[in-house]
C-alpha cells in the first residue's frame, strides 16, 4: 500500500507548488481511481498509509496529505471532506491546518487538535458523484 501511496503524495505535493487549489483538485479527481488498489482498506488504514508516505516526502504538508487521502478514500468508495481551519495564539501566532473527515472519523489529525481550529473552508468529495 505504501508503494502505491508515495507517487500520489508526490504528485499532490508538486501540484500544490504549481497549480491553484481548485485546479489541482480537478486534476487529482481525474486521475484513474484504481479501486482495486484500495478495495477493502479502511479509512484509518488509508490515512496511515498517507501519513507514512508523507514522512518520506519533503514539505508534504497537512494539505498535501489531505488531498491525497481524499483521492484514496474516493477510490475506495468513501465520501469525505477536507476541512481547512485557522487558529491564532500568543505562543504560536497564526496557524492553518487541514484534515479529513470521513463518516464521522477525523483523519490525519486528532479530533482534539482539529477542534482548536476555526473552520474556514470545506472541500467535499462524494465518490458517487464523480
Quick one: which of 122, 91, 17 has its CA closest to 61? 17
- The pTM assigned to this predicted structure is 0.92
pLDDT at 46: 96
| 130 has pLDDT over 70 | no
Number of domains in the chain: 1
Instruction: Give the structural domain span for 110.
Output: 2-129
- Check whether 126 has a pLDDT greater than 80: no
Tell me the CA distances in angstroms from 88 to 10, 52, 114, 116, one per residue in order: 30, 28, 13, 9
Amino acid at each position: 500500500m505504501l508503494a502505491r501511496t508515495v507517487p500520489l503524495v508526490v504528485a499532490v505535493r508538486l501540484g500544490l507548488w504549481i497549480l491553484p487549489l481548485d485546479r489541482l483538485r480537478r486534476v487529482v479527481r481525474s486521475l484513474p481511481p484504481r479501486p482495486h488498489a484500495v478495495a477493502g482498506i479502511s479509512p484509518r488504514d488509508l490515512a496511515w498509509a498517507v501519513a507514512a508516505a508523507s514522512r518520506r516526502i519533503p514539505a508534504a504538508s497537512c494539505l498535501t496529505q489531505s488531498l491525497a487521502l481524499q483521492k484514496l478514500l474516493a477510490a475506495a468508495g468513501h465520501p469525505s471532506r477536507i476541512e481547512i481551519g485557522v487558529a491564532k495564539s500568543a505562543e504560536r501566532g497564526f496557524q492553518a491546518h487541514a484534515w479529513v473527515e470521513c463518516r464521522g472519523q477525523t483523519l490525519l489529525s486528532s479530533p482534539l487538535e482539529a477542534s482548536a481550529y476555526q473552520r474556514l473552508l470545506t472541500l467535499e468529495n462524494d465518490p458517487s458523484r464523480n
